A and B are shown apart, each in its own frame.
Chain A
Amino acid sequence: MTLLNVRDLTLSFGGVKAVNAISFDIQAGEIFTIIGPNGAGKTTLFNLLSRIYRPTGGEITFDGMNITNVAAHRIAKLGIARTFQNIELFEHASVLHNLLVGRQAHVETNVLQEMLFLPSVRKRELEHRDVAERVIELLRLEHARDELIANLPYGVRKIVEIARALCTQPKLLLLDEPSSGLNPEETHDIGFWIRDIRDDLGITIALVEHDMGLVGRVSDRVMAIDQGQMVAVGRPDEVRQNPQVLSAYLGIPS
């Protein structure tokens, strides 16, 4: 089953076509990796999928629904969650608080009920907490639960960001360079988490990644892009051997 379908997606910043008529689809249950040299447009593509940017052309269909013009804050509720290349956590709040913000898409109480803290609010709070605790358990974050983000080491922050995205209970998880800034052991662990998330929770994963070892280990399919355009898509080893991909990375004209 196709979970995400992207047709001719285009975004120009002034004259630069950061994403240029890219088309691909992601099947439910797969781990789909996007690779490409710096400035290829990978992050921009994610920003388009999570509707932070408005495309100048093309169409995005998610789970049978056209989401090309859906407001960014409604994306989480529809089932797309993401992490950020440069970690966008809520710095001055605890890990638990960050994870609970991941529940915002599922909030059903309004501010008047909350002001009076009616029993319905408490009931919902306990439910949200339950979801957050399950994610904490899955990613082994118990030790950091009440720590402020500002006091956490970089590697843990990366995990917290994934945890926060999981709290939205997504169908599709977008990970923007989950291993950047991590040491080899942590990168290795991330590989396991990614597979666990797909296998245990049944969440489809799209990730942007530079570490080719990790890409080879986790991906079902890989898409290479360069200068906003798709270069190749296929099995990891196929794409890695592709002469056009090699020339994009090494700068040799093919």
Chain B
Amino acid sequence: MRRIFKTHYNQDIDLFRDGIDRNIYCGLLVILLLLPLSVGSFWLGEISYALILSITSVGLMLLTGFAGQVSIGHGAFVGIGAYANAVLLTSGLPLPLSIIGAVVISTLVGALLGYPALRLSGLYLAMATLAFTFIVEHVFVHWESMTGGFGGMSVPAGVILNYSIMEGVSFYYLCLLSAVGALLLARNILRSPTGRAFVSIRDSEVAAQSMGVNLASKKTTAFALSAGFAGLSGALLAHRIGSLAPDAFGVLLSIQLLLMVVVGGLGSLHGAIFGAIFVSMLPQIIAVFRDTLPDSLAQQPGLEPGLFGAILVAFVLFEPAGINGRWQKVKAYFAHFPMHRKATFRRQKNFTKSERFR
């Protein structure tokens, strides 16, 4: 078992706990950088997709996993990012600027949504964000001059310095750069006062307030940030799918995104990444699953959303801490082997809390 000997406060503030952690993450980054050398274009595309999803996942994790605000509206932000990027590219902006523009636009819309959402929480907030998904989808359909409506909109090829990013390897690097950047930004937020304020809002609003946390401003910040992350991943996603249609960014995507953070494990950036990997592999998993089912079931139209629902329920029931929680348990098992105690992770009920001042 590894014990960390602390000699300076900086060790609790730094990006990595210690040298071993730093080497592990840097090693992982090197592997990802070298990946195109050894992996075919199909898998490179799939990994790019996982990286794109992990950007939204990290953003949604900030909002839902850390600040405790549920959103079934993030599909809409991904859509806003995708359409904004496509529209800006069409208008002749170079690619880096169009992506930045997409991020800015979705961040602003996120802040706007955050404002009415201030007074809502829990189920009501979920419903409001769900309604937001419908509104945005409606706008995509009816603002034809901008989005092409149901006819769809083709995304112009992205070019950086005369170099097409549509080609697999460069697109992969763009996704990798964005995902690592997003992860770093999120990590920085979490190790500074804003991140702690998010957690405090999640765990007790009245205490947070009494400690000087401005609930309105922090919740708006959380919405804006997570919308910005979703916008970035939408901008990249636009290039992956090539042609945008309104129904790609509907409720199903939003639920899939929420599934991602819950399955990954709320309240952890590792969880956000695990969740993104899981959801990006879902189509393959479902394809395999479909093959094993009798035809009459496999051809049912509702199979995918049904499966999402079933997975979500299964995790909430059996592993509320998500894949990350499972991973922590496995790690603890080996760290303490053969002395591990089963009770370490037993769920405890707590009766001290009262709802009186909520």
Q: Which residue of A lies closest to B355 (CB)?
A: A86
How does the 8 Å CB contact mask read for A136-158 relative to B, with 1 for contact and 0 for none? Answer: 00000000000000100010010
Q: A52-B210, A104-B208, A154-B352 are in contact. List 8 more A-B contacts (CB 8 A).
A: A52-B206, A52-B209, A88-B206, A91-B350, A93-B203, A102-B211, A117-B188, A126-B10
Q: Does B199 belong to the interface (CB within 8 Å)?
A: yes
Residues of A within 8 A of B207 (CB): 84, 88-90, 164
Question: Contacting chain A: which of B140-148, B212-220, B308-316?
Answer: B212-220
A133 to B10, CA, bound (A): 13
CB distance from A252 to the nearest CB of B (A): 29
In this complex, the member of A81, A90, A106, A109 whose beta carbon has the largest number of chain B beta carbons within 10 angstroms is A90
Q: Binding site of A, secondary structure by majority: helix, strand, loop or mixed?
A: helix
CB within 8 Å for A77 and B212 given contacts A97-B196, A104-B197 = yes
Compute how far the CA of A30 lies from the CA of B225 in the bound complex, rounded to whole angstroms: 45
For the complex formed, measure the closest distance between the CB of A156 and the CB atoms of chain B, giving whole angstroms: 13
> From residue 74 to 132 of chain A, which have CB atoms closer than 8 A to chain B?
74-77, 81-82, 84, 86-93, 96-97, 100-107, 109, 111, 114-117, 121-122, 124-126, 128-130
Chain B 20-52 interface 0/1 with A at a Cβ cutoff of 8 Å (1 = within): 000000000000000000000000000000000
Q: How far is the CA of A90 from the CA of B211 in the complex (A)?
A: 12
Count, A-B residue pairs, CB within 8 A: 132
Does A68 touch B at the CB level, under 8 Å?
Answer: no
* Interface contact A73-B212, CB-CB below 8 Å: yes
Interface residues on B, range: 35 or more
Q: Contacting B199 at CB < 8 Å: which of A76, A96, A97, A114?
A: A97
User: CB within 8 Å of B: which of A202-222?
Assistant: none
Report A14 CB to chain B, min CB distance, Å.
16
26 CB-based A-B contacts, threshold 8 Å: A52-B206, A73-B214, A76-B210, A81-B210, A86-B354, A88-B206, A88-B357, A91-B203, A91-B350, A93-B199, A97-B196, A100-B196, A104-B196, A104-B208, A104-B211, A104-B212, A105-B211, A107-B193, A111-B221, A114-B188, A114-B189, A114-B195, A115-B189, A117-B188, A125-B191, A181-B352
Q: How far is the CB of B257 from chain A (nearest CB, A)?
A: 22
Give bound CA distance, A128 to B192, whole Å: 11
Check: A168 CB closer than 8 A to any chain B CB. yes
Which of these, A52, A86, A114, A154, contacts B193 with CB under 8 Å?
A114
- Indicate which residue in B9, B188, B199 contacts A90 across the interface (CB closer than 8 Å): B199
Chain A residue nearest to B358 (CB atoms) is A88
A→B interface (CB under 8 Å): 47, 50, 52, 71-77, 81-82, 84, 86-93, 96-97, 100-107, 109, 111, 114-117, 121-122, 124-126, 128-130, 133, 150, 154, 157, 164, 168, 181
**Docked complex Cα distance between A89 and B12 (Å):** 21
A172 to B191, CA, bound (A): 29
Q: Is the CB of A103 within 8 A of B193?
A: yes
Write the residues of chain B forming the contact surface with A, with a CB cutoff of 8 angstroms. Answer: 9-10, 12-13, 185, 188-189, 191-197, 199-200, 202-204, 206-215, 221, 225, 267, 348, 350, 352-354, 356-357
- A104: nearest residue on chain B (CB-CB)? B212
Query: Which of chain B's residues have a CB closer than 8 A to the CB of A87?
Result: 352-353
Q: A88-B206, A116-B188 are in contact. Are A164 and B352 (CB under 8 A)?
A: no
- Among residues of B, the one whose C-beta sits closest to the C-beta of A88 is B207
Which of B191, B193, B348, B357 has most chain A Cβ within 10 Å?
Answer: B193
Distance of A129 from chain B, by nearest CB (Å)? 5
Complex-state Cα separation, A90 to B200, whole angstroms: 6
Complex Cα–Cα for A128 and B193 (A): 10
List of B residues within 8 angstroms of A126 by Cβ: 9-10, 13
The residue from B192, B215, B348 contacting A117, defined by CB atoms under 8 A apart:
B192
Q: Is the CB of B203 within 8 A of A168?
A: no
CB B224 to nearest CB in A, in angstroms, measures 9
Given the contacts A97-B199, A168-B212, A104 and B352 also touching, CB distance less than 8 Å? no
CB distance from B28 to the nearest CB of A (A): 21
Contact call B204/A88, Cβ cutoff below 8 A: yes
Give every chain A residue within 8 A of B200 (Cβ-Cβ): 90, 93, 101, 104
- Measured between beta carbons, the chain B residues less than 8 angstroms from A101 are 196-197, 199-200, 208, 211, 213
A197 to B188, CA, bound (A): 34
| Known contacts A73-B213, A101-B196, A168-B212; A111 and B225 CB within 8 A of each other | yes
Contacts of B357 in A (CB 8 A): 47, 52, 84, 86, 88
Interfacial chain B residues near A77, Cβ < 8 Å: 212
Q: In whole angstroms, how far apart are the Cα atoms of A115 and B228 in the complex?
A: 13
- Of A73, A107, A117, A133, which is within 8 A of B209 by CB? A73
Query: Which residues of chain B are within 8 angstroms of A50 by Cβ–Cβ distance?
Result: 210
**CA–CA, A50 to B200, complex, Å?**
17
Does B192 contact A89, Cβ atoms closer than 8 Å? no
Q: Is the CB of B191 within 8 A of A117?
A: yes
Which chain B residue shows the least CB distance to A114? B192
Q: Which A residues lie within 8 Å of B197 (CB)?
A: 101, 104
